[in-house]
A and B are shown apart, each in its own frame.
Chain A
Amino acid sequence: MTLSRTTISGGQRKNRPATGFNRLMLRTIVFCLVSACLPLAAAALEIDADSQYSFARQLFANQQYLRAAAEFQRFVFFFPRDSRVPEAGLRIARAYLHAGRYRQALKAADKLAHAGYGHQITARAYFLISRCYQLMNSPTQAIATLHNLTTLVRDPAIDDQVAYRLGWIYLEQGNWEKARESFEKVGPERRPDLGIDPILTDLSRADDLPRKNPTLAGVLSLVPGGGQLYCRRYQDALIAFGVNAGLVWAAWESFDEGHQALGTLISFVALGFYMGNIYGAVTDAHKFNRQQTGRFVDTMRRRHLDDRGFVYFRHPGHGAPAAPALALRITF
């Protein structure tokens, strides 16, 4: 503002007619520019429901999940009466789930579940909530959510889906019996689609998995290294035996030579290593069982979930030695 005033006032001092011409020119130019920009501005501001939705979907397809969630939220905000709003709500929750924002996904799905969009959307929202809990390492909550859904919605198709998902949750927990029970609850019409019979056939092999008894491992470790030997940890067994035997011998010799203080100190250390040896053997048995379960579950997933559009997620705890995580798939 200050600049233009100075220019105009400067012009007034020099030549009045020229100033009038300049003003006219300036107004003409401004008018032309504004006229030219108006259609452009109008085009840029126009939001079309289809393009907004497809843009959000494209972001989702490109795995830009957080951006996709934001764009779906924009869609819901600007087009609240659009028929795709419930679907957009589901996609918001899914996007957060894929991005690893489980709490946000849970919140979005929970909101949708109680929005009254009909039982199909409600069921899908509940499935998402259940999956969120599962990924947050709360399988009990995941199971409870699915049970709640069966009481809320009376639909045989949804009951079958619930039974199928419960089966996978139990399977991932290593609870073969309950997994089998759940898979067997799936109705005959949907069994071929969900591949229940091959799953049950493979699941019957779970009982033959090699297992180690943690109690037995602990008892065997009363002789240091025994439990480790039982768990096929031969180096650990040798070291446990050697260290414990060495410490006991050192403590014995110390007391024998009249070095009570040293003997007490060594005994204290020896006791720690002896208890550590027992603790380690019990843990090794549990680790062995967990590893066997993890491998079996991974094999089951590879065989029965890959072709069905399931998505991988990973969380710590299980898996083959090379992968420090348990693979987990989700479906919607």
Chain B
Amino acid sequence: MRALQRIRDLGRGNAGLVVFLIAFTLWSAAPALAGDRESATGGSLVSSLDLIRSVLTRADSDRCPMAPSCSAYARRAFRRHGALTGWIMTCDRLLRCGRDEKRLAPRIRINGRIFIYDPIENNDFWWSKKK
């Protein structure tokens, strides 16, 4: 309940920011929806992911057990399929991260660490012809 209260407080205090963020995200998705994927890829979503990777990952370390990591996966998904599909694929990946994939996906060793290998090609092979 305390967490919910915090979220409520966040909503009260930053309503304008929240609306701006949604509008900004939808705006950045618009070129992809219109079919202009390249312009979307250079947009704010990828930049936001870069920010997460450069700031947050440095702060809380590289803990994702998957390869590529969830942020790298999201980056590729946005670049490859645009904002809407990229967003859906990213959510799917976040739901799967480190769970049943541990048992089902192959392993890969990177810099001495073992990761669960789950590239984007393993998740769009059934509908995407892109290589």
Which residues of A are in contact with B by a Cβ distance under 8 Å? 137, 214, 228, 233-236, 239-240, 243, 250, 253-254, 257, 259-266, 268, 272-273, 275-277, 279-280, 282-283, 286-287, 290-291, 316-317, 319, 321-324
Select the residue from A234, A243, A262 with max chain B CB neighbours within 10 A.
A262
| Cβ contact within 8 Å between B99 and A235 | yes
Q: CB distance B105 to A321 under 8 Å?
A: yes
Q: Which of B11, B16, B89, B123 has the most CB of A within 10 A?
A: B11
Q: Pick from A234, A276, A287, A319: contact of B94, CB below 8 A.
A: A276
Q: A239-B99, A250-B7, A321-B104 are in contact. Are A259 and B92 (CB under 8 A)?
A: no
CB pair B106–A321 under 8 Å, yes or no, is yes
**In the bound complex, CA of A316 to CA of B122 (Å):** 9
Chain A, residue nearest B119 (CB): A316
Does B59 sit within 8 A of A, measured CB to CB? no
- A261–B8 Cα distance when bound, in Å, is 10
Contacts of A272 in B (CB 8 A): 87-88, 90-91
**Do B99 and A286 touch (CB < 8 A)?**
no
Interface string of B58-83 (1 = CB under 8 A from A): 00000000000000000000000000
Beyond A236-B95, A259-B8, A265-B21, 12 additional contacts (C-beta under 8 Å) are A240-B95, A259-B11, A262-B7, A272-B87, A273-B95, A275-B88, A276-B89, A276-B90, A279-B88, A283-B92, A287-B104, A322-B107
Q: Please name all residues of chain B whose beta carbon is closer than 8 Å to the beta carbon of A322 when the two chains form the complex.
A: 106-107
Q: How many Å from the CB of A308 to the closest CB on chain B?
A: 28
Of all chain A residues, the one with the shortest Cβ separation from B99 is: A235
A256 CB to closest chain B CB (Å) equals 11
For A283, what are the chain B residues with a Cβ–Cβ distance below 8 Å?
A: 92, 123-124, 126
Per-position binary interface string of chain B over residues 112-131, scored 1 when its CB falls under 8 Å from any chain A CB and 0 otherwise:
00000100011111100001
Residue numbers in A under 8 Å from B122 (CB-CB): 287
Name the distance in Å between B35's Cβ and chain A's nearest Cβ: 20
**CB-based contact A286/B10 at 8 Å:** no
For A317, list chain B residues within 8 Å (CB): 121, 125
> CA–CA, A322 to B108, complex, Å?
9
Q: B44: shortest Cβ distance to chain A, in Å? A: 15
Q: Are B89 and A259 in contact (CB-based, < 8 A)? A: no
Docked Cα-Cα span, A73 to B7, in Å, equals 72
A254, B121: Cα distance in complex, Å:
37
Minimum distance in angstroms from A263 CB to a CB of chain B: 8
CB within 8 Å for A253 and B4 given contacts A235-B99, A259-B11, A321-B105: yes
User: B98: nearest residue on chain A (CB-CB)?
Assistant: A235
- CB pair B126–A236 under 8 Å, yes or no, is no
Contact B95 A276 (CB under 8 A): yes
